[in-house]
Structure 1
């Protein structure tokens, strides 16, 4: 990889998890609302834009309303704390009705969540076995994915209480926890992280989406500091490398020029000298981007200024004569007439 790659933000632009969804709620208020024909994303296809497609098509193609959802569920023997079910369950014809799947692969639970009817959704969650709760639609979205996208915390809580598959991935490889990390949905993330066993949570935290990003990477790219703290508290590997170029969350935070994330990661024990596949450390990236403040943070945390990447370059080689950055490097043994060479014009 060329030395200039340490300076470029190309990966950052490709890896940034930007959502094209401005407002789920406003979209769901009107069945007539449609996306602008021929609209194009201004870059790589957004990994989270699939939910917009799903919500748009499922809602628009369904004649269901909150009232009709209630009518479908009405009469079914759903146990509640106030009135536990006493029968053997729902009738066969009722079971066939409420477990039917639309042409988009949505169950009635998917549709209840899309309609943001938390009351009906929670009733269905109590009624359905786990196998039904884990059904994924044509975009491989489980009810947990949709409830998280829409920040329906109580529905998320009900789902994780039934031990649904939190590790399930949608068509872009995102688990529901990836979704929460991107959108800063701390309560949803907390519900998911709190209900899993340590071993199961560790597996989810290591899961990478199809762009190679684990949850901590997504949170760092989205500047979601609270969720980063949550993931760290739950044992996320601070030095896990994303799958395309081997960047850690610290590399990504440096690329984002996010000093808060850099401090958070360093104070939590992230490896300041972690190397990408091309050998670049976070210091290489900071210097290459002329970010003196973050380069200073890394140096104060003990970054090795003499490490070389695969192009045989140290971070100093990428300084391009920037005196502010050069001043961060030790040159105490190089003096001319008693004066340091740093800042001297020849």
Structure 2
């Protein structure tokens, strides 16, 4: 892939190149010499403009998809524009307020992550992606509260003050004293541990006969742990929303590309691996087309930014994926601000 520095371009070539890229990103169609010579364009004849376009094409920065159809940037051209010429448009006060309000979702952190993915999709017109934090909080206590003869509510409290509830199905005939005994037993063993650590210790103690619990209490403890264990195992590594945005009018012209992209998004583990590359970045990263192997066939772009907890530790990555003609100048600061806003909600 050609790597042409901006210093190799004349001022005239830079102006024309910038207009072609901006026109393509705005309208999604190749830009012709007549449009470039029109109002707001460059003060050159169409013939002179065509000569410069031909030079830019020979450098691998522009391409002509069809005869006399104008030019559009190549992936190399987009990279040159994004790295050296793009002027970002920071979110407005109203847009910032909307983002922060949309993320204020009550309940488990997964609710906020789902809201973030949907938000990214809505504000960018692409598909939104959020990588779920894989860290486990340290626990404080677990209480079992009777709801009915065959159900109890398991209330799990983390050391960070976060509270999550799950309904536990009972075998029947469980009284209040059994619920209290099971709650006390679990709480005494989960303090300061992660859920994975606590489950392993309690299961080992029960299976070895060292628990000093009666059969009813043992059954209740195991049922409660099973609910949380299943919940942890089923938590997604990646939340994707807005895939329908990828099926726009231009997609009808290239159904194979879109089908390939949607197939890639179904393999969420692979997408999460790609986003891992953005975890160590100091700022928002942009992957254009074949720069990443996963989306090379679909020719898509990914804009990703790490998000941090309140202590400044990177805990995940969020971003958007869409066609290479994304409005990078607008989307990049949107993704960056959303990442910082989400970080304020992470304990």
| TM bracket (short chain) | under 0.3
Higher strand share: 2
Q: Flag the structure with more relative contact order, 1 or 2, with Cα contacts below 8 A and sequence separation at least 6.
A: 2
Larger Rg: 2
TM-score normalised by length of structure 2? 0.20
TM-score normalised by length of structure 1? 0.20
